[in-house]
Structure 1
Amino acid sequence: MPKYRKKPVIVDAIQWSGRWEDVPEVKKFTENNAVEKNDIDNKRSYLFIRTLEGEMMCSPFDYIIRGVKGEYYPCKPDIFEATYELAE
């Protein structure tokens, strides 16, 4: 079976702290592709990222990645850390 290696690609990413006061920074990074939604019945708020496949929920400490085509998507910390390393 053939094996494949991921091409070395540098992406821009930030990690959301989970703090609502940091959401403006996430919105700025994602060019307003981050959306807050409130669940009035449960008195909870959620953060979603608009992706090419639709909205994806972003959990505290998730990384938000700007992909090679300018798209945005959240990524779990363990996956991010296994896949990416600091390029600077």
Structure 2
Amino acid sequence: MVLAEGGSEMIVGRPADTTTEARNELAVLGDVAAVTADLSSGDGVAALLETIEAQHPDIDLLVNAVSRTIWDVDGGVMGGASGNGK
């Protein structure tokens, strides 16, 4: 929907090959960037946020489809899918 309206998208995935493959499939619809990131640690989340800020400082929407809840990036505390912090 974003691409259909002329917007751009950034997709993030851990495996580089599938992230690139998804980017290539979506690119026929518009401007799509792909970033490989491991969001299983606070350091990985912080690195992704730095990348987003550097490459797309005007981002309007971020959708988290990761099966974890990120509670506190600065402290590196990560919550499980249940949101209970474990």
Question: What TM-score comes out, normalization by structure 2 length?
Answer: 0.30
Structure ranking higher in strand proportion? 1
Structure ranking higher in helix proportion? 2
Higher relative contact order (CA 8 A, sep 6+): 1
